[in-house]
Amino acid sequence: MKEGTKSIFLIVLGIYFILLGIFAIIFSLYNNNPSQILYACYVGLILIGIGMLTKRSSIILSQVYLLTIPIMIWDIDFFHWIIFKGPLWGITNYFFSTTPSILGNFISLQHLYLVPLSIYALTLIGVKRKDAWKWSLLELVIIFIAVMTLSLPALNVDCVFHPCMNINFGIPYSIVWFLISFIMVGVTAIILNFFLWPRKNRRKKK
């Protein structure tokens, strides 16, 4: 892709993600669900958009590390509904309800393309640093504190209060949440760094 075309693509996509993130927040407030603005994917939309506009790969990468596996789980449940006409884990049941929210579902569809487009943007910008995972972990701590402080357990934003799927490890759930979240970030970082980190840089590190 030519440099000029690349810049236009990143600007347009960055603006779209930022506007979609802002719209998601406004829509949550309009529906009297202010706690939903703490959803990691809503925050991620805005931060990824900013990263694209500023061509800061570390901003985009920190969100991709954080969101990839949770979004993949959402996607699997979504396509299970489409193919088998029923829930797998029940995560996307709201999308297929008898009284769906068209605007809400439009926002939710970002789960299908946010990560792939973000990774493509990273290939255009280039990845020069491998420590964006640190920001991912810091964001996890901030999200946990914010949700626990500002949200209600019944809403279970970001699955902070109890599992979104039927799992039980026999230890306090807050510990499980952090362990699973950190592992997901770590696994995603290892895999993506291998493919996105320039090979010449990998050789230099050896």
pTM exceeds 0.75 for this model: yes
What value does the mean pLDDT take over residues 41-66?
A: 96
Say which residues have a Cβ less than 8 Å from residue 32's Cβ, sequence separation at least 6: none
The residue-averaged pLDDT of 11-39 equals 95
The pLDDT tens digits of the residues spanning 60-84 come to 999 999 999 999 999 999 999 999 9
The mean pLDDT of 42-69, rounded to a whole number, is 96
Tens-digit pLDDT profile for residues 179-193: 999 999 999 999 998
Higher pLDDT, 116 or 205: 116
Q: How many helices (H) and strands (E) does the chain have?
A: 8, 0
- The 10 Å Cβ neighbour count of residue 45 is 27
Q: What integer is the mean pLDDT of 37-61? A: 96
118 closest CA partner among 186, 43, 59: 59
Residue 10 in contact with residue 124, Cβ under 8 Å?
A: yes
Candidates 157, 155, 150, 183; CA nearest to 169 is 183
